[in-house]
Structure 1
Amino acid sequence: MRTTVLNPESRQAALREMANGPDLDILVIGGGVTGAGVALDAVTRGLRTGIVEAQDWAGGTSRWSSKLVHGGLRYLQQLDFKLVTEALHERERLLYTLAPHLVKPVPFLYPILHRVWERPYVTAGIGLYDTLAHVGSKVASMPFHRHLSERGVQKAFPSIKPGAMVGAVKYWDGRVDDARLVLTLIRTAAGYGALAASRTKVTGMIKNDDAVVGARVTDLETGEEFEIRARKVIAATGVWTEETQDMADTDGGLKVLASKGIHIVVPRERIKGEVGLILQTEKSVLFVIPWEHYWIIGTTDTPYEQDISAPVATAADIDYVIEHANVVLDDPLTREDVIGSYAGLRPLLQPGVKDDTETASTKVSREHTVAEVVPGLISIAGGKLTTYRIMAQDAVDFALGKERTKQLPSVTERTLLHGADGYLPLTRQIEQISDRYGWGPEMVEHLLNRYGSGISEVGTIVDERADLAEPLKGAPEYIRAEIVQAARNEGVLHLADAFQTRTRMSYDQPDHGLAVVDEVADLLAEELGWDSERKAKEIQAYRDLCAAEDAAAETTDDTAAAAARAAAPSLNSLQN
C-alpha cells in the first residue's frame, strides 16, 4: 500500500503521474461519494486508477446531504422490496464493518396521527423494514422498532407540541458524516495506489476516432494543463452529467435534472429530545436529526435552474423548514435560532437516455443507471449516498465487461475504510486517551467519530506540539490539531476547505465559524507555507463567501439568491 496522505505535494505528484506515466485503466471524473467509491472499487481490483474533481472533495453535492444512511421507507409503499433490502444491507455494512467510526445508529419517531387505523398500517411497514434489514444480513443489525404512546413520545422528545401526535413508532436508521465519508474513501483509495487530484477540471475529452481515450484537464490552482489517457473514463459528475457528456461531442447519454434541498442547523439545547423525527410535508420529507451539539432539520425539494456550482438557501427555503418543524414543536423556532444553513443539489435521473440514442448500452437499476455514452466514456447517475458502493461496483463491472469482471470481482464489501481497522478497541480506551492528552471523554469520542483509528495521526501532531491539543478558542468543539491534520494529511488547499469539508464549522458554528477564522488561518499558513499576503487573501475570500451566503439567505427566490452568491470570488485565483 501507498500512503493515505493527501496534501499539495501528493496532489501535484498524482497529476504528473496521471499525465506522464503509463495509461490509466480507469479515469474517474467526479470526487463525490459515487466517484470516490468508483475509484476505490477500481483500484482494489488491481486497476491503474486516477480520479479528478473540479472542486474540493465532496464539494458538489455529497457534503450537503441530509447525512443519513437508510433503506428508503418510501420504496416499501411501492413494494420494491429488493431495492430496500439492498440499501438496508449496505446500511448495516457501513455501520458495523466498513465505516463504524463515521456511521452511527440514530433513533427516529414516526408519528401516529390517528388513533385507530394508522398504527397497524405504520407498524406493518416499519416491521417489514426491520425484517428486511435482518434477513440474510451477514452482520449485526440495529434494534427492532418499538411502539410509543403519546406519553412515551413526550418522554422521548419533551419539546413535542401536545396533541401533535397520538403516539409514534420508534425505529432506527443511520447518520453519517457525509463529507468525511467521501474524504475517507479518497484516502483509502490513495492508500491502495489511486492517483487523486482535487480542484482539477476536465476541459475536454481525448478521442481516437469515435472512442474516448482520456481527458484534458486543467489544474485550477496553477492553470497548468495536462492530458490524461485511460482505457475507460467513468463520469460520476451528478448534476454536471450532461455537461460532461457533451464534451464527447455526442447527443446521447443520461438526462439529469437538479433539485435543490436545504437544511438548517439549530443548537442542541434549543430542542429537548434524544431521538429524531421524520415528518411528511406537502413537498418533501422533513427530518429533525440529532447530532453532537446541534440539530439538522431538512429538507426541501425544489427544481433548480441557477448556477449549479453554488446553490444557496433563500429566506423562503429557511422559513419553509422552520414553519413545518414548528407544526410539532411546543416552543416554535425562529430565524434567530438558526446558527447555520446549507444547500445542495440532487441529481434526479430522468427516464431513458438523451435523444433515445440507439448505440448507448445501459445497465439500469431502480435508482441509478450506467450507460456507455460513446465508446470509452461511461456515465453513472442517480442513486443515493447509502448505495454508493453498489453504484461503484456496477460502474466498474460495466467498464470491465462480463468476462473480465469474473476475473476481477469487486472486493469493496470487505475492504475497510481508513480509520475503521482498530476503531472498536479504541472505543474501549477512551479513559486512557483522555489521560494521555488531557481531553475529556466527549472530546475523545468526537475525535474517534471523525478519524477512527486515524486518531493516531492527530495524536502524532499533538506529540510534536502540546499546544495543538487545545480547543480552538472560538469553537471549543474542535481542537487545534484537527486543522493541522486537515492540511498535513487530508488535502486542504484553501481556508474554506477546512471550514466546509474537513470540519463542519461553516454551518455548525454561529456566523460560519468566523470567530476562529484568524486562528485557523494561522495554523494552515504555518503548515502549508502561506506568506502573509496569501493568508490575508484566504481570510478575505472566506469572509466574502460567508457574506454572500448571508445575503442570499435574505432573498426570496433562487434567481436573487444566485446573484447574491455570485458576489463571492472564485477560490482558484488565490494562489496567483
Structure 2
Amino acid sequence: MTNPVLTPEQRRMALQTMTTEIVDVLVIGGGVTGAGIALDAASRGLSTAIVEAQDWASGTSSRSSRLVHGGLRYLYNLDFKLVAEALKERGRLLTLIAPHLVEAQPFLWPLKTPAIERIYSAVGVGMYDALAVIGAGGHKTVPLQHHVTKKGALELFPEIKPSALCGAIEFYDARVDDARLVITLVRTALKYGAQAASRVKVKSVLKDTGGHACGVEAVDLETGESLTIRAKRLINATGIWTEQTQDMAGGTGGLKVLASKGIHIVIPRDRLKAQTGLFLRTEKSVLFIIPWQHYWVIGTTDTAWHEQLEHPVPTSADIDYVLAQANEVLADELTRDDIIGTYAGLRPLLQPRVLDESKSTKVSREHTVTEVVPGMVAIAGGKLTTYRVMAEDAVDFALGKELAEAKPSPTGHLPLVGAEGFEAMSNQGERIGRRYGFDADRMQHLLRRYGSELDDLLATIDADPALAEPLAAAPQFIRAEVYRACAVEGALHLEDVLVSRVRLNSEARDRGGAAVDEVAEIAASALGWDDVRKEAEKANYRARIAAELAAEEEGSDASASAVRMEVADIVG
C-alpha cells in the first residue's frame, strides 16, 4: 500500500467526502490526541474524519519538551500505575510504533548528598527501570540506570559546576519531534481511510430532533466557504480549547480545563560538550537540558496563562527564569547571547471534576473522557507519551462497551508510516550517503525524520537533483525537505513549513528569516503559488518573526501577548 500524502488536492477531496457522506466518527482537533484518535478509529474500520482549525499540531503538540517519558517525578507521588502506563507506551514507540521518530536519550541526574539522596534516587530510578521492563514483557527497550562518581559525571557533562554534585545517576528516557509525530499520525490515519483537513474551524454543533449531536457547521478558512459535516459521533480533542468547543453543543456536560504556560529556550549544540542530557529537580518542578543533533532544548516553566490561546509567547522574565535555573548547575553560565530560539506552549490542565457529575465518565490519573451531550464526547489531560492510550479510551467511550468490544483497537501493535523497514533502511545509510554525497551527520538527520520513507524523498532528488542541495541559510536541511513538507506533509503556507516541518522558527536565531526567500521559492513550486501569493506569504511570516522577537522582550504575559497579536494570521 502506497503511503498517503497530505496535499491541497487531498484536502479538497477530503472536504468533499466529509460534506456529502455521514461519517462514523468526526474528530475535532488535530493535535497529538486528535490525530491519535483519528488513527484509532480509522484502523478499527470506522469511517473517520478529522478537522483542525489551524495547521496540524499548531497548539500544544508542537510546543512541548519533545520528550517521550514515563514521568520519573510522578514516582515520588507514588503514581505507579500512571508511570507504568507511560513507560509501556514509551517502549512501544521506541520499538514498534515509531522507532524512526522516537530515540532513546540518556540523562544525568546530579546528586548533592553522598548517601541518602543516592539511595532514594537509586530506588526511584530502579523502580522506573523495572516498570519499563515489565511493560515491555521482560525486555529492555533502553539501558538500565548506571551510577557514576563525581569524576565520571564531570566526564559525561563537563560543564556542571563541581560544587553542584557529589555523583550522579545516568538513566534513559526518549525524545521525539512532537509536530512530526502528529503529522505522521494523521498520514497513517489516511492510510486506513480517514479524511483529514487542516484550517477548518468548527462554528457550531448540530443536533437531531432527539437532542443528539449529529455533526457540525464549520468554515474552510482557506476559502471562506461554509461547510456542513455530519457524523454519528463527535469527539472533542481540542486541548486548551476544550471548553470553547463543547460550549457549542450546549448542555451541561463536559470538562473544565485551565491553560498553563511552559516555555523553552534553544541553544547551539556546540555550546555544551556534554554526552548526555541533564535532569534537574527545582523548587517548583523539574528542568530538562535535552541534547538534539544540532541544538539543546532547555525547559520548562509552569505558570497560569490568561491571554489568547492561539499564540502563547515567552516573556523576558520567563527566559531569565530558565537561564537562572540552568545556571544553578552550569559552570560556564549561559547568557541571552547563547539563545538561538525560544517557544512557549500551553498545557491543558484538567480540573478534577467534570462539569456534570451525572454524565457517564471515564477517568484515569492523567486524562478524562466524558459525555458533553448525547453523541459528543470530550477528552482532555494526559501527555504526548500516552496519546495512544487516550485515543483508545476516547474511541471506546464513544462507541460504547458492546461496539468497542466488537471493534477493538489495533494501534498497540500498528507501526506508523516510515516505521516498517526502518532498521533495514538505516543499514543502507552509508551506501546512500556515498551515492548522494551526504555525510554521516546528514544521513542521521534524514533517517531520523523519514525512516523507511527516505526512499520517497530520494526519488524527488532523482527527479530534480537540485533538491539535494542544502538550504543556503540553514544547511542542516536540504531543499528536498522543504519540497516534501508541501508535497507530502500537509504544509499549506510558508509558516507551516518553517514552524512545524523545517523547524527554523524555534531552532534558528532569526527564526528562519534568512531562509524565507529560498524556502518560499520551493514552496511556491510545490504548491503552485503565483508571485502575488508568494510575496504575501513572505511578508506575513516576516511580520510574525518581528512580533515574536518583540514579544519576548516584554515583561508580562499580557503585554507579550498583545505584541504578538498585532500580526494577523495568514488565514482566518
The superposition leaves residues 26-50 of structure 1 with CA deviations (integer Å, 9 ceiling, x where unpaired) of 0000000000000000000000000
Matches of 2:312 and 2:557, distance apart in 1: 8
Residue 18 of structure 2: aligned partner = 18
CA contact 1:26–1:50 (8 Å) conserved in 2: yes
Q: 1:121-132 counterparts in 2 under 5 A?
A: 121-132=120-131
2:325 equivalent to 1:320: no
The superposition leaves residues 139-163 of structure 1 with CA deviations (integer Å, 9 ceiling, x where unpaired) of 5411110111111111000111121
Output the aligned Cα RMSD.
1.0
Deviation at 1:229, TM superposition (A): 0.6
Q: Could you tell which deviates more after superposition, 139-148 or 194-203?
A: 139-148
Residue 301 of structure 1: aligned partner = 302
Deviation at 1:252, TM superposition (A): 2.5
Matches of 2:387 and 2:282, distance apart in 1: 27
Residue 144 of structure 2: aligned partner = 144
Residue 506 of structure 1: aligned partner = 505
Residue 554 of structure 1: aligned partner = 553
The superposition leaves residues 161-208 of structure 1 with CA deviations (integer Å, 9 ceiling, x where unpaired) of 121111111000000110000000000001111000001100000111
Q: Which amino acid aligns with 1:89?
A: K
Residue 335 of structure 2: aligned partner = 334
Matches of 2:101 and 2:285, distance apart in 1: 26
The superposition leaves residues 91-117 of structure 1 with CA deviations (integer Å, 9 ceiling, x where unpaired) of 000011110110000000112111221
Q: Which amino acid aligns with 2:477?
A: Y
The superposition leaves residues 438-480 of structure 1 with CA deviations (integer Å, 9 ceiling, x where unpaired) of 1112111101100111111211110111111010011000000
Q: 1:279-294 counterparts in 2 under 5 A?
A: 279-294=280-295
Deviation at 1:337, TM superposition (A): 0.6
SS of the equivalent of 2:27 reads strand
Residue 266 of structure 1: aligned partner = 267
Matches of 1:181 and 1:358, distance apart in 2: 34
Deviation at 1:2, TM superposition (A): 7.0
The superposition leaves residues 54-111 of structure 1 with CA deviations (integer Å, 9 ceiling, x where unpaired) of 0100001101000000111122112221211111010000011110110000000112
2:191 equivalent to 1:191: yes
Distance 1:521 1:65, change over 3 A: same
SS of the equivalent of 1:351 reads coil
Q: 1:28-427 counterparts in 2 under 5 A?
A: 28-138=27-137, 140-209=140-209, 210-354=211-355, 357-427=356-426
Matches of 1:271 and 1:413, distance apart in 2: 37
SS of the equivalent of 1:492 reads coil
Matches of 2:442 and 2:90, distance apart in 1: 26
Matches of 1:172 and 1:114, distance apart in 2: 22
Residue 6 of structure 2: aligned partner = 6
Q: Which amino acid aligns with 2:159?
A: S
Matches of 1:140 and 1:170, distance apart in 2: 16
The superposition leaves residues 268-293 of structure 1 with CA deviations (integer Å, 9 ceiling, x where unpaired) of 11112011111122222110000011
Q: 1:435-514 counterparts in 2 under 5 A?
A: 435-514=434-513
Q: How many pairs align? A: 570
Matches of 1:26 and 1:189, distance apart in 2: 13
SS of the equivalent of 1:230 reads strand
Residue 543 of structure 2: aligned partner = 544
SS of the equivalent of 1:159 reads coil
Matches of 2:152 and 2:140, distance apart in 1: 27
Matches of 2:197 and 2:2, distance apart in 1: 16
Q: Which runs of 4+ in 1 moved over 4 A?
A: none
| TM-score (structure 2 length as normaliser) | 0.98
Q: Which amino acid aligns with 1:17?
A: T
SS of the equivalent of 2:323 reads helix
Q: Which amino acid aligns with 1:216?
A: E
CA contact 2:87–2:135 (8 Å) conserved in 1: no
Matches of 2:140 and 2:150, distance apart in 1: 31
Matches of 2:460 and 2:440, distance apart in 1: 19
Matches of 2:323 and 2:490, distance apart in 1: 36
Deviation at 1:3, TM superposition (A): 4.9
Matches of 1:90 and 1:300, distance apart in 2: 25
Matches of 1:530 and 1:398, distance apart in 2: 43
Matches of 1:551 and 1:543, distance apart in 2: 12
Q: Which amino acid aligns with 1:204?
A: S
Q: Could you tell which deviates more after superposition, 229-238 or 438-447?
A: 438-447
Matches of 1:487 and 1:466, distance apart in 2: 18
SS of the equivalent of 1:175 reads strand
Q: Could you tell which deviates more after superposition, 139-148 or 558-567?
A: 139-148
Matches of 1:358 and 1:279, distance apart in 2: 39
Matches of 2:184 and 2:418, distance apart in 1: 8
SS of the equivalent of 1:512 reads coil
Q: Which amino acid aligns with 1:241?
A: T
Deviation at 1:136, TM superposition (A): 4.5
CA contact 2:84–2:135 (8 Å) conserved in 1: no
Matches of 2:122 and 2:3, distance apart in 1: 48
Deviation at 1:358, TM superposition (A): 4.2
Unpaired segments of 5 or more residues in structure 1? Answer: none
